[in-house]
Amino acid sequence: MTARGGVGPARGTRSSVNGPLRRHPTPWRRVLLPGIAAIAAYLAAVAVTPPAPHGRTLYDGLLPQPPYRWVRPPGGRAADNEQPKPYTTFLPLAAGGSVPAEFATDDLQATLTLPANVVEPRSGETRARVTLTPLDPDTLAPPPSGRRFDGNAYRMDAVYDASGAPVTLRGPVTVVLRYAAHATTILRLDRSGGKAAWVRLATTVYTGSQEDLAHSDTLGVFVTSSP
């Protein structure tokens, strides 16, 4: 046998007492078309699927999730629970507004995505300070009737760094929270009525990565919940 790329008899031919037999190569369409069809099917699926957080459209669900880190662990988890940590960083501000950015806690249990120019610029301010803080949701307000919390609450704040004033948003931001078991809805804490209460946000669920995604026109405190 001749190595691929070497000199020798053409692949698919053999000698005969009457001379060389004619090659009958596999038609290229038979080889390429199944692969092209598979690629086209995947691209079509991506086109109609909402973007998964952290770019997990292709790999969603292939890796086991690490143990959930609780602020206040449920029974049976106190011994091996690892406390979640807050996360703080800075968002640069340009003349037209903020740059596009995504921030996540070290354990990826909470992610905040800010589109370009969503934070309004302010005179004398060159950056905003962004903080993601894990909280025990039971200390904030009871869950809505018929629902339960399925993870930590996370306070997502952004303030102008020089003045400390809350930033002004020009549009919605994206909140992604990892849940502990099987949450279907993200709740946002509402204090506008003088009493703290949770309101539901339209939520997309990614079961493979155990994450919920929602858009919010304000920052604040968010938590995942299940029936």
pLDDT in tens, 29-81: 444 555 555 555 444 544 444 444 544 444 355 567 899 999 999 988 889 99
How many other C-beta atoms lie within 10 A of the C-beta of residue 179?
26
In sequence order, what are the beta bridge partners of 92?
127
Segment 98-107 mean pLDDT:
97
How many other C-beta atoms lie within 10 A of the C-beta of residue 185?
21
Query: How buried is 158 (Cβ within 10 angstroms: 0-12 exposed, 13-18 middle, 19+ buried)?
Result: buried
Q: pLDDT at position 193, please?
A: 78
Q: How far apart are CA 186 and CA 214, in angstroms?
A: 7
Q: pLDDT at position 39, please?
A: 52
pLDDT in tens, 112-150: 999 999 999 999 999 999 999 999 999 999 999 999 999
Extract the runs of DSSP E, i.e. beta strands, from 58-147. Answer: 87-94, 97-98, 101-104, 110-114, 127-135
pLDDT in tens, 176-217: 999 999 999 999 999 987 889 999 999 999 999 999 999 999
| Banded pLDDT at 17 (limits 50, 70, 90) | very low
Report the predicted TM-score, pTM, of the whole model to 2 decimal places.
0.74
- Residue 12 scores a pLDDT above 70: no
Q: pLDDT at position 83, please?
A: 97
